[in-house]
A and B are shown apart, each in its own frame.
Chain A
Amino acid sequence: MTRALDAGEVARRINEVRAGAVVVSNDTDVWVKLDALVEVANFLKDTPDLDFAFLTAVTAVDYIEYFELVYQLLSMRRNHSIVVKMRVFGREAPVVPSLVDLWPGADLQEREIWDLMGIKFDKHPNLKRILLWEGFPGHPLRKDYLG
């Protein structure tokens, strides 16, 4: 059985490495600050007893006041998982750091989020639209998109 790590404990360890990186946590998810994401991701991937080498999925949800990015991480060796979430405020031109360097599996998924949700990924090697064509007006998965 894949064990969902105690998010409170993980949050405590993240905050030891970088104070204030975690905004809040519940049983299974940790919410991190936007400017701490890359550091937190590195910590989660490289710490031997966490060992999150596998990025299951990246998702974005439009909650109108903010966008929430959801990173589902997995360690196949230890068979445990954690969910990292991050809030991005502002609808005009939201930008978040790309994690393609750490997990190349994020490549197509980040392009999809840019395409459908309109969130830019800083330092993504090839941030182009993926399912829709260049020049398509708007980003359809946003809640205020009127087709």
Chain B
Amino acid sequence: MAITTEPVTINLGPQHPSTHGVFRLRVTFDGEEVVDVEPVFGYLHRGTEKLAESRSYVQIVTLTDRLDYTASMSNNLAYVRAVEKLAGIEVPERAMYLRVITAELQRIASHLMATGFLLNDLGAFATPLMYCFRERERILDMFEMLCGARITLSYMRPGGVFQDAPAEFWPALDTFLVETPGYLDDLENLITGNEIVLARTRGVGILGDELAIATSVTGPMLRASGVQWDLRKADPYEVYDRLEFDIPIGVAGDTFDRYLVRILEMRESLKIIEQCVDQIPRGPIKPDLPFNLRPPEGDAYAAVEGPKGELGFYLVSDRGIAPYRCKIRAPSFINLTPLKEMVVGWKVGDLIVIFGSVDVVLGEVDR
């Protein structure tokens, strides 16, 4: 008698299948193979876009901290840039350099978390994650010097930053810049050549370049698929056009390439910060602005290359003290569009790893 099996639909979640947040996947398996997947969103939906319609332009900075809570600096930067574009605010040079330094530190912190959790998803439970967190901790310490907070930073303001870096920030940054390349070498020794990591990630969860572009994927995920697109180069903002750095890209678009692109980007970020430290001029860090901004009627879209991809804010002003509309282009959310194409045909364990390599943060997916 032939033995037949039927597809089984089960829920992974509602927590992140690998514990980054609250997320649910309805997965249909045939045996151990994924035949269908349907993401279920919304468990962390707080209505950020609606809340923004009743907050003043400066207050909204605090809402942006809570989108991608592993990259508050990048969120702050994307938002204040949209406000500056809408209201035509000039930013002092020193503030622009401080913003680039902090945004790049944030990129390193976010990529460290992505790498640590990817290893967690691979079954290397907690140890590699703690190595990553140890380094991330040093970045958070520096953020604490800047603004007193570690996660929900609210460091940036329309027109500049909240305050200049205190004296103890610069030696801490110098030490970090000296020591981190060696740390990244150690991390790579542990992971990049590791036979188990290679077996589990090479050729797994491939996202082709055409599909990546068609599905509006951005960030390290797009670049891992071989598309050299980075807003810092393609549409330079702040002072990125004065800095020298490369855009690492992948070849295969698989899970391993997504990991490697992040490691290489961290090294580029260190290069960027070093140049900023050399170039940063003295001067004011914030212009005098009224407490409540009333930008002229109209709309503006500004985006930055966040750690997850293109993070953009589309603001509409009706001359009120709060925006008429505040739309957030969240990279984590849009990067999930091709999830089904990436995971169908792979096994349960691979599904978790592929999902981990997308690197989403649910605060940003659900907003």
Q: Does B359 contact A (CB under 8 A)?
A: no
CB-based contact A131/B325 at 8 Å: no
Task: Contact check, A2 vs B234: say whether CB atoms are below 8 A apart.
Answer: yes
Q: Tell whether A23 is near chain B: CB-to-CB under 8 Å.
A: no
Q: How would residues 14 to 54 of chain B score, 1 for a CB under 8 Å from any chain A CB and 0 otherwise? A: 00000000000000000000000000011001010110000
Interface positions of A from 57 to 78, Cβ below 8 Å from B: 57, 59, 61-62, 70, 72, 76
Over the window 88-116 of chain A, the binary record of Cβ atoms lying under 8 Å from chain B Cβ atoms (1 yes, 0 no) is 00000000000000011111110010001
B299 neighbours in A (Cβ, 8 Å): 61, 70
In the complex, B61 has a CB within 8 A of chain A:
no
Assess whether A131 is in contact with B42, with CB atoms less than 8 Å apart.
Answer: yes
* Closest B residue to A113 using CB positions: B327
Which residues of B, 292-320, contact A by the 8 Å Cβ criterion?
299, 301, 303, 310, 312, 314, 316
Q: Would you call B192 an interface residue if the criterion is a C-beta within 8 Å of the partner chain's C-beta atoms?
A: no
Q: Is A127 an interface residue (CB 8 A)?
A: no
CB distance from A142 to the nearest CB of B (A): 10
Q: How large is the interface on B (under 10, 10 to 19, 20 to 34, 35 or more residues)?
A: 35 or more
User: Could you say which of B5-13, B86-94, B102-110, B328-336 contacts chain A?
Assistant: B328-336
B329 touches A116 (CB 8 A): no
Q: Does A42 contact B (CB under 8 A)?
A: no
CB atoms of A116 and B214 under 8 A apart? no
Do B235 and A70 touch across chains, with their CB atoms under 8 A apart?
no
Whether the Cβ atoms of A108 and B333 lie closer than 8 Å is yes
Residue from the list A53, A105, A131 in contact with B334, Cβ < 8 A? A105
**B314 CB to nearest A CB, Å:** 5
Q: Which of B42, B217, B227 contacts A130 (CB 8 A)?
A: B42
With a cutoff of 8 Å between Cβ atoms, the chain A residues found around residue B312 in the complex are 56-57
Question: Is there contact, CB below 8 Å, between B337 and A105?
Answer: yes
Would A76 and B229 be within 8 Å (CB), given that A56-B310, A59-B314 are in contact? yes
Known contacts A79-B234, A108-B334; is A132 also within 8 Å of B45 by CB?
yes
Among B247-279, those with CB < 8 Å from A are none
Q: A105-B334, A107-B337, A141-B50 are in contact. Are A76 and B213 (CB under 8 A)?
A: yes
Task: Knowing A57-B312, A57-B314, A105-B214, say if A72 contacts B301 (CB, 8 Å).
Answer: yes
List residues of chain B with CB within 8 A of the CB of A76.
Answer: 213, 227, 229, 234
Q: What string of 1s and 0s marks CB contacts (under 8 Å) between A37-55 and chain B?
A: 0000000000000000111
Contact partners of B336 in chain A: CB under 8 A: 108
Contact between chains at A104 and B337 (CB < 8 Å): yes
Q: A79-B234, A108-B334, A141-B49 are in contact. Are A103 and B216 (CB under 8 A)?
A: yes
Closest 9 interchain pairs by CB? A105-B216, A2-B235, A131-B42, A131-B45, A57-B329, A59-B327, A105-B215, A61-B325, A104-B215
Can you name 9 A-B pairs with beta carbons within 8 Å?
A72-B314, A76-B213, A76-B227, A79-B235, A104-B215, A104-B216, A105-B216, A140-B47, A141-B50
- B: which residues have CB within 8 A of A? 41-42, 45, 47, 49-50, 211, 213-217, 227, 229, 234-236, 299, 301, 303, 310, 312, 314, 316, 324-325, 327, 329, 333-334, 336-338, 366-367
Given contacts A104-B214, A105-B214, 14 further A-B contacts (CB under 8 A): A1-B235, A1-B236, A56-B216, A56-B303, A56-B310, A57-B312, A59-B314, A70-B299, A105-B215, A105-B334, A106-B216, A116-B50, A133-B42, A140-B50
A: residues with CB less than 8 A from B are 1-2, 53-57, 59, 61-62, 70, 72, 76, 79, 83, 103-109, 112, 116, 130-133, 140-141
